[in-house]
């Protein structure tokens, strides 16, 4: 796996879900504000029997299929002119391990949470949990319920920024 070494790069994990689309949009806004580049990553496991992109394909053919789907998702989510430099990668392997490795040379890692499995996984998800424990840079996890209402959250944060608390009684 080749990694660019750019401490001004924001890495965003993308799996095609609404939560990852919200994470991608949030990461683009953060990259624009910081003057950073955006590196969208989708991680997959090569399995010629189970992975739809791998069936009857070589591993490289499957990688190209995943990369093309990622590029299409990024273009659909961010538009043709996202306002920041965007690169895409589709490495194969364990998503948590690969995203943690990519965090070593990143300014930030951004993920969307799905909320599956146990209570802890309901809040974070296994990939998010692994990244929070082991990443080498700041990690932003947008919970599923927040990402579904991202525009509402932005309005609330804007209102909170102008709120001046009164005296505590």
What are the chain's domains? 9-161 (3.40.50.620)
**Residue 125 predicted with pLDDT over 60:** no
Beta bridge partners of 13: 41
Of residues 129 and 90, more confidently modeled: 90
SS3 41: strand
- pLDDT at residue number 43: 93
Q: How many C-beta neighbours within 10 Å does residue 90 have?
A: 21
Digit-coded pLDDT (tens) for 38-73: 999 999 988 878 777 777 788 899 999 999 999 999
Q: Whose CA is closest to 41, among 80, 64, 12, 3?
A: 12
Q: How many C-beta neighbours within 10 Å does residue 27 have?
A: 29
Distance of alpha carbon 122 from alpha carbon 113, whole angstroms: 9
If you average pLDDT over residues 114-130, what whole number do you get? 57
Digit-coded pLDDT (tens) for 131-161: 888 888 999 988 765 544 555 555 555 544 4
* Averaged pLDDT score across all residues of the chain: 79
């Amino acid at each position: 796996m080749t990694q660019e070494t750019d401490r001004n790069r924001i890495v965003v994990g993308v799996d095609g879900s609404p939560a990852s689309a919200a994470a991608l949009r949030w990461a683009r806004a953060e990259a624009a504000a910081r003057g950073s580049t955006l590196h969208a990553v989708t991680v997959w496991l090569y399995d010629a029997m189970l992975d739809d992109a791998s069936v009857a394909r070589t591993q490289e053919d499957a990688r190209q299929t995943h990369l093309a789907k990622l590029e299409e998702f990024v273009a659909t989510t961010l538009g043709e002119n996202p306002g920041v430099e965007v690169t895409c990668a589709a490495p194969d392997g364990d998503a948590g391990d690969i995203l943690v490795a990519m965090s070593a040379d990143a300014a930030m890692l951004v993920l969307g949470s799905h909320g599956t499995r146990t209570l802890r996984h309901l809040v974070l998800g296994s990939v998010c949990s692994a990244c929070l424990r082991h990443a080498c840079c700041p990690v932003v996890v947008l919970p599923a319920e927040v990402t579904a209402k991202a525009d509402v959250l932005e309005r609330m944060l804007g209102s909170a920024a102008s709120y001046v608390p009164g005296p505590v009684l």
